[in-house]
Amino acid sequence: MSRSQHANEMDRNTRYFHHISARRRNNRIEYLVIHGRLVRNQARIKVAIRDFYKWLYHQEASPSVTFRDGLVNRLAREEAEVLEVIPSVEEVKEEVWDCESPKAPGSDGYNMKYIKKCWVEIGMEFTAAVMRFFEMARLPVDSNITWVTLAPKFFGAKEIKDLRLISIVGCVYKVISKLLT
């Protein structure tokens, strides 16, 4: 419904048009203060943002520990076996219904409300995609695609730390991560 409203009223001189225009203006990153200097060049801003988050989320070197290399010694055998159990169809459905429905669509274009509403038609395929991950230890091809955007935490954000990182992931990915946790 919002997309049709957007298509119908975006170019007309309506309150909706002015609201969307103002929102885009407020969310646009015109300049940032990087290392104490004001930068307006969009290419430099993109590089600085990428480098900031690359540094923030870099993977530190850590010893590779597997279940057989010592982690099992810390877990009881029953606990280790529970970690390797493939979830049931009921558990997958339970996690789908546990997800918040009205959130924005993920990178796959769907939100959990759509998945729940069409469960009779697509539930078997959705469950199969989730189960395939646990059987083959590989994500479905498109499920690991993530769209990332930045939104200002407050009006007048001037530094990278003043921007909120928003990540949009697909429904299959959400359910897999919920089952893993």
Q: What's the rounded mean pLDDT across residues 118-144?
A: 84
In this predicted structure, what is the pLDDT of residue 62?
67
In this predicted structure, what is the pLDDT of residue 4?
60
pTM for the structure as a whole: 0.55
In this predicted structure, what is the pLDDT of residue 113?
85
Q: What's the rounded mean pLDDT across residues 152-177?
A: 81
pLDDT top residue among 141 and 42: 42
Q: What are the structural domain ranges in the chain?
A: 87-181
In this predicted structure, what is the pLDDT of residue 153?
84
Q: How many CA atoms lie within 13 A of 156 on its CB side?
A: 0
Cα distances (Å, whole numbers) of residue 31 to 46, 56, 65, 165: 11, 21, 44, 17
* pLDDT tens figures, 62-104: 666 666 665 555 777 788 787 778 899 999 999 999 988 766 6
